[in-house]
């Protein structure tokens, strides 16, 4: 399997990348030990209609769900849609759950809409538009575009959304739906584990903020409305009314293309018809207060939508705002090296922790001869104009060390580069196809959002 800097590229068995908004659902498997349903579900990241390819699609699924405070229900033929559609050609985005990378892969194609039901949805009211934004992410290395939704937290433009809405983005634009004002956004920080991201709009002031309910008093049977950028079409947000069917739910999304499998806990489950593109948007109570962030959806049979409760989302946002990184929280952007590596060629594909990107570099090469068989991370592709390209790395080379630390696998490379930030200078040692060893110093550049 090819990976970028140690992370799987996400191609399917034929080598082509399916639409990224297709985080597909497998059979639901109740977690009876915790008395809450554990389902393998695709993120409803609302996908978003992507410029390169589009629509979300799902797999048939079935299984029982034990709802807290609600009767047991069974989901059959469940089609889950992933957040935004990301399909691509050329160098594609791939995530392996433990790190992120860019690697080459042939692009898929699709012309269907991101969601089949968005045209029948109601429109959000004026009150429900307040503090809501549309988010469009350019996925340059994927040659694609994704769309989602977000919430205005501060009058100077701090935005709360799902991590998967901006994951892999090289640039982000945000439109305030109530006014049509457009801004460029940067990533303040992300939490891929809990699927939360915080953005900052450039030169924003005087924005109306979302009305939040942090009382944690949501209850089964309560009326709710999911609002968002259904289908990624922009304009007046769609509105999907429903009721809360369960609380404190745990779901597991299945890895598909760029989307890594992840388990999300403590979710609000509703029967609102959450659409692709709604990801990051508000789940309102009957008083039009935000009680959750639309995140995932299951369709087919009984409709189920899932939202992250607003209180824990705000706690994570607060940590990001304070600049405190952790095992789950990444502040700012990762570093970027720009190589695709073949995990099958190393001693172990494993799972690196952090982003394995590097920056544009300069340095000299030396030419010692190594043995015929070399343990390391074998390069399957180099991104034009990247730090790796500037340093002289080419397809077929094998990276054997970073800053003098031995690299014996793709995952080791991911971990080594993930420990650095954009602007850091590191030495990279590699062996070329003839067996000659080279070392160059590169300065890691800013990579796409993690």
Q: Is 50 exceeded by the pLDDT of residue 122? A: yes
pLDDT of 283-304, one tens digit each? 999 999 999 999 998 866 678 9
The CA-based dihedral angle spanning residues 16, 342, 414, 361, taken in that order and rounded to the nearest 10 degrees: -100
**DSSP code at position 378:** E
How large a percentage of the chain has pLDDT more than 90? 53
pLDDT at 367: 41
- Mean pLDDT, residues 317-325: 97
pLDDT of 395-416, one tens digit each? 999 999 999 999 999 889 988 9
Q: Is 90 exceeded by the pLDDT of residue 322? A: yes
pLDDT at 344: 60
pLDDT category, 43, cuts 50, 70, 90?
low
Main-chain phi, psi angles of 339, to 5 degrees:
-125, 150
- Give the closest residue to 36 by CA, choosing from 242, 268, 194, 254: 268
pLDDT at 57: 19
Lowest mean per-residue pLDDT among 149-158, 283-292, 332-341, 344-353:
344-353
- Torsion sign across C-alpha atoms 312, 316, 322, 328: positive
Q: Is 80 exceeded by the pLDDT of residue 434? A: yes
Burial of 436 (0-12, 13-18, 19+ CB in 10 A): middle
pLDDT of 74-118, one tens digit each? 232 233 333 343 433 322 222 322 222 222 222 332 222 333 344
pLDDT of 344-386, one tens digit each? 654 333 333 333 333 323 333 334 434 445 689 999 999 889 9
CB 56 within 8 Å of CB 24: no
CB 277 within 8 Å of CB 148: yes
Helix (H, G, I), strand (E, B) or coil at 128: helix
Bridge partner residues of 253 (DSSP): 262
Q: In angstroms, how far is the first alpha carbon of the chain from the final one? A: 21
pLDDT at 287: 97
Q: Is 70 exceeded by the pLDDT of residue 172? A: yes
222 or 20, greater pLDDT: 222
CB 281 within 8 Å of CB 290: no
Helix (H, G, I), strand (E, B) or coil at 203: coil
pLDDT at 136: 96
> What element of type H or E holds 265?
strand 262-270
Tokens describing residue 108:
């898929």
pLDDT at 391: 95
- Give the closest residue to 354 by CA, choosing from 197, 194, 195, 192: 192
Task: For residue 322, give Cα distances in angstroms to 186, 189, 326, 354, 362.
Answer: 16, 10, 12, 20, 34
Tokens describing residue 38:
């554990």
Lowest mean per-residue pLDDT among 121-125, 296-300, 325-329, 359-363:
359-363
DSSP strand pairing (16-17 vs 106-107)? parallel
CB 184 within 8 Å of CB 201: yes
pLDDT at 401: 96
How large a percentage of the chain has pLDDT more than 70? 64
> What element of type H or E holds 126?
helix 126-129
């Amino acid at each position: 399997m090819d990976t970028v800097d140690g992370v799987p590229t996400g191609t399917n068995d034929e080598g082509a990348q399916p639409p990224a908004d297709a985080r597909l659902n497998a059979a639901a498997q109740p977690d009876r030990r915790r008395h809450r349903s554990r389902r393998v579900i695709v993120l409803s990241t609302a996908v978003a209609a992507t410029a390169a390819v589009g629509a979300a699609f799902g797999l048939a699924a079935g299984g029982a769900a034990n709802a807290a405070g609600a009767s047991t229900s069974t989901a059959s033929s469940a089609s889950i849609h992933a957040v935004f559609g990301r399909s691509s050609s050329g160098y594609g985005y791939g995530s392996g759950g433990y790190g992120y990378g860019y690697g080459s892969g042939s692009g898929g194609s699709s012309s269907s809409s991101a969601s089949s039901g968005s045209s029948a949805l109601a429109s959000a009211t004026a009150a429900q538009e307040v503090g809501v934004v549309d988010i469009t992410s350019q996925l340059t290395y994927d040659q694609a575009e994704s769309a989602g939704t977000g919430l205005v937290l501060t009058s100077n433009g701090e935005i709360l959304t799902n991590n998967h809405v901006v994951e892999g983005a090289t640039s982000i634009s945000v439109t305030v739906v109530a006014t049509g004002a457009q801004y460029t956004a940067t990533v303040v920080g992300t939490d891929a584990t809990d699927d939360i991201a915080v953005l900052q709009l450039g030169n924003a002031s005087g924005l109306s903020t979302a009305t939040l309910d942090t009382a944690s008093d949501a209850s089964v049977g309560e009326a709710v409305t999911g609002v968002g950028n259904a289908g990624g079409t922009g304009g007046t947000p769609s509105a999907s009314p429903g009721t809360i069917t369960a609380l404190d739910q745990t779901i597991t999304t299945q890895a598909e293309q760029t989307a890594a499998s992840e388990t999300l806990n403590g979710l609000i489950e509703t029967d609102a018809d959450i659409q692709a593109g709604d990801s990051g948007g508000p789940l309102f109570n009957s008083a039009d207060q935000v009680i959750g962030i639309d995140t995932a959806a299951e369709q087919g049979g009984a409709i189920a939508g899932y939202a992250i409760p607003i209180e824990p989302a705000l706690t994570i946002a607060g940590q990001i705002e304070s600049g405190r990184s952790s095992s789950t929280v990444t502040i700012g952007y990762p570093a970027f090296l720009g190589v695709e590596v073949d995990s099958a060629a190393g001693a172990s594909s494993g799972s690196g922790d952090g982003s394995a990107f590097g920056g544009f570099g300069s340095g000299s090469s030396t030419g010692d001869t190594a043995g015929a068989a070399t343990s390391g991370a074998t390069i399957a592709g180099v991104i034009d104009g990247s730090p790796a390209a500037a340093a002289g790395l080419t397809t077929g080379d094998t990276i054997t060390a970073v800053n003098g630390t031995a690299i014996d696998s793709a995952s080791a490379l991911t971990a080594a580069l993930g420990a650095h930030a954009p602007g850091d200078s590191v030495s990279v040692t590699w062996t070329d196809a003839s067996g000659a060893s080279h070392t160059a110093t590169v300065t890691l550049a800013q990579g796409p959002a993690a």
